[in-house]
Structure 1
Amino acid sequence: MLRLFILIIFTGLLAAPLQAAQNKINALRVAPGPDKTRVVFDLSQTPQFTYFSLSNPNRLVIDLANTSDTADLAATGDTGSLVRRLRYSTPKNPQSARIVVDLNRKTDPEIFAIAPSGDYGHRLVVDLPGQSVSSSSQATGVLIDSANNTRDRDIIVAIDAGHGGNDPGSIGPSGTYEKHITLSIAKKLAALVDAEQGMRSVLVRDGDYYIYPTKRPEIARQKKADLLISIHADAFSQPEPRGGSVWVLSMRRADSELGRWLEKTERHSELLGGAAEVISDNASERYLAETIIGLSMDHSMSASYDLSEKVIGEMKKVTRLHKRAPQAASFAVLTAPDIPSILVEVGFISNPQEEKNLLWEEYRERLARSMFNATKRYFKQVPPDGTLWASYRERNRTHKVRSGESLSLLAQRYNVKVSSIKEANDLNNDVVRIGQVLTIPST
Structure 2
Amino acid sequence: MSDQNRPRTALSLPDEVTPSPARRRVVAGGVSLLLLCSPWARAATRSTAPSILAVRVWPAADYTRVTLELDAPLKYTYFAVKNPDRLVVDIEGIELNAALKSLANKIGADDPYIKLLRAGNFKPGVVRLVMDLKTEVAPQVFALKPVGEYGHRLVLDIYPAVPADPLMSLLDKREVTGDPMQAAVRGELKPEPMERSETRIEARKPAEAAPEAQPSQVARESREIKEAPRKGKPIVDRLVTITLDPGHGGEDPGAVGQRGSQEKVVTLAIAKRLKAKLDAEPNMRAVLTRDSDFFVPLGTRVQKARRLQADLFVSIHADAWVKPDARGSSVFVLSERGASSAAARYLAQKENDADLVGGVNFGVKDVHLAQTLLDLSQTATNNDSLKLAKSVLKEMGGINTLHKAGVEQAGFAVLKAPDIPSILVETAFISNPEEERRLVDEGYQDQVAEAILRGIKAYFAKNPPLAKSRLARLD
TM over 0.5: yes
Task: Compute the TM-score of the two structures, normalised by the length of structure 2.
Answer: 0.54
State the secondary structure of the residue aligned to 2:400. Answer: coil
1:62 and 2:111 are equivalent in the alignment: no
1:98 and 2:183 aligned: no
After TM superposition, list the pairs within 5 Å mapping 1:155-166 onto structure 2: 155-166=240-251
Residue 146 of structure 1: how far off its partner (Å): 7.5
Q: Secondary structure of 1:378's partner? A: helix
Aligned partner of 1:326 among 378, 398, 407: 407
Contact 1:88 1:98 in 2 (8 A): no
Matches within 5 A, 1:234-313: 234-252=319-337, 293=375, 297-313=378-394
Aligned partners of 1:46 and 1:122 also within 8 Å: no
- The 1:88/1:310 distance shift into structure 2, 3 A limit, reads same
Give the total of aligned pairs.
311
Q: Distance in 2 between matches of 1:242 and 1:100?
A: 48
Equivalent pair of 1:244/1:321 in contact (CA under 8 Å): yes
Is residue 210 from structure 1 mapped to residue 295 from structure 2 by the alignment?
yes
* Deviation, structure 1 residue 309: 0.3
Aligned partners of 1:113 and 1:122 also within 8 Å: yes
Q: Does 1:51 align with 2:84?
A: no
2:217 maps to 144
1:133–1:331: structure 2 CA closer, same or farther, 3 Å change rule? closer
Structural mapping, 1:412-427, within 5 Å: none
**Counterpart residue number, 2:304:** 219
Q: 1:145 to 1:213 in 2, by over 3 A?
A: closer
Q: Is the 8 A contact 1:170 1:235 kept in 2?
A: yes
State how far apart, in whole Å, the 2-side matches of 1:202 and 1:377 are.
20
Cα distance, 1:245 vs structure 2: 0.4
Structure 1 Cα separation of the partners of residues 160 and 219 of structure 2: 37
- Which of the residues 207, 229, 242 maps onto 2:314? 229
**Pairing 1:85–2:158 present:** no
Partner Cα separation in structure 2 for residue 224 and residue 45 of structure 1: 42
Residue 21 to residue 87, structure 1, CA distance change in 2 (3 Å): farther
> Secondary structure of the equivalent of 1:247?
strand
Once the two structures are TM-superposed, the CA of residue 22 in structure 1 deviates from its matched residue by: 12
**Match among 430, 444, 451 for residue 363 of structure 1:** 444
Secondary structure of 1:66's counterpart equals: strand
Structure 1 residue 269: Cα displacement: 11
Residues 29 and 40, structure 1, Cα contact 8 Å, conserved in 2: no
Distance 2:120 2:457 in 1: 54
Report the structure number with the largest CA radius of gyration. Answer: 2
| Contact 1:48-1:64 at 8 Å conserved across structures | yes
Which among 277, 284, 305 is matched to residue 199 of structure 1? 284
User: Which amino acid in 1 is paired with 2:438?
Assistant: N
Alignment partners' CA distance in 2, 1:265 and 1:367: 34
AA in 2 matched with 1:66: I
Unmatched runs of 5 consecutive residues or more in structure 2:
1-45, 69-73, 93-99, 122-126, 143-153, 172-180, 186-214, 225-236, 340-364, 469-475
| Cα deviation digits, residues 236-288 of structure 1 (max 9, x gap) | 2222111000001111379xxxxxxxxx99769968xxxxxxxxxxxxxxxxx
Q: Is the 8 A contact 1:27 1:42 kept in 2?
A: no
Aligned to 2:417: 336
* SS of equivalent residue, structure 1 residue 165: coil
Structure 1 residues 134 and 40: alpha-carbon distance in aligned structure 2, compared to 1, 3 A threshold: farther
> Over residues 115-138 of structure 1, what are the superposed CA-to-partner deviations in whole Å (9 max), with x where a residue is unaligned?
xxxxxx999999959xx8725379
Check conservation: 1:73, 1:86, Cα contact below 8 A: no
The Cα of 1:357 is off from its aligned counterpart by: 1.4
Determine the C-alpha separation between the residues in 2 that align with 1:179 and 1:191: 19
User: Which residue in the other structure is 2:177 paired with?
Assistant: none
Q: Does 1:374 align with 2:455?
A: yes
> 1: CA distance between counterparts of 2:439 and 2:140?
47
1: distance between equivalents of 2:366 and 2:268? Answer: 35
Structure 1 CA distance for aligned equivalents of residues 436 and 404 of structure 2: 18
CA distance 1:336–1:97, change in 2 (3 Å): farther
Residue identity (%): 31
C-alpha distance in structure 2 between counterparts of 1:173 and 1:41, whole Å: 29
What do the CA deviations read for 1:28-62 (whole angstroms, capped 9, x no partner)? Answer: 9979xxxxxxx9999996632241224xxxxx222
Q: Secondary structure at the match of 1:375?
A: helix
